[in-house]
Amino acid sequence: MNIRKVLDNNMLTPLLLRLGLAIVFIYAAVSSFLDPNEWVGYLPSFMTEMVDARTLLPFFSVFELTLAAWLLSGVYVRYAALFCAMTLGGIVVFNFELFAISFRDIGLMLAALALAAYKEK
């Protein structure tokens, strides 16, 4: 297989972005089910004041799994990517005091925006 031909393939870029973002959302969701104590602190306080964090976290995890499945499906990718970008942006904004950790979500948010902006040739 010619590596240049694979890298020049117009479909490789969105596929890699979709896979990368989906893996991030799957990991976070599965990890929060397995060890919720590690994840409840990332929920915004305005939400946990209304709903207990231990109740809210599983719903957010299902939301993340839904986003991952949507990305992997390849259907309406632009909208899925925009939802991912908004989710990641919200995580950064509402966890600014944890910026030493959440700064990575800025790169992921930009990857999601790149996927949303991607136009096939």
Residue 5, domain member (yes or no):
no
Residue 62, domain member (yes or no):
yes
Domain count, the chain: 1
Residue 17, domain member (yes or no):
no
Q: Provide the domain limits for residue 98.
A: 29-117
43 vs 9: which has the higher pLDDT: 43
Q: How far is CA 2 from CA 6, 9, 68, 118, in A?
A: 7, 11, 30, 24
**Amino acid identity at 40:** V
Residue 1, domain member (yes or no):
no
Residue 104, domain member (yes or no):
yes
Cβ contacts of 13 within 8 Å, gap of 6 or more: 118
Closest to 40 in 3D by CA, of 55, 24, 50: 55
Q: What is the pLDDT of residues 14-48, one digit of tens each?
A: 999 999 999 999 999 999 999 999 999 889 889 99
Residue 75, domain member (yes or no):
yes
Residue 33, domain member (yes or no):
yes
* pTM, full prediction: 0.88
Residue 61, domain member (yes or no):
yes
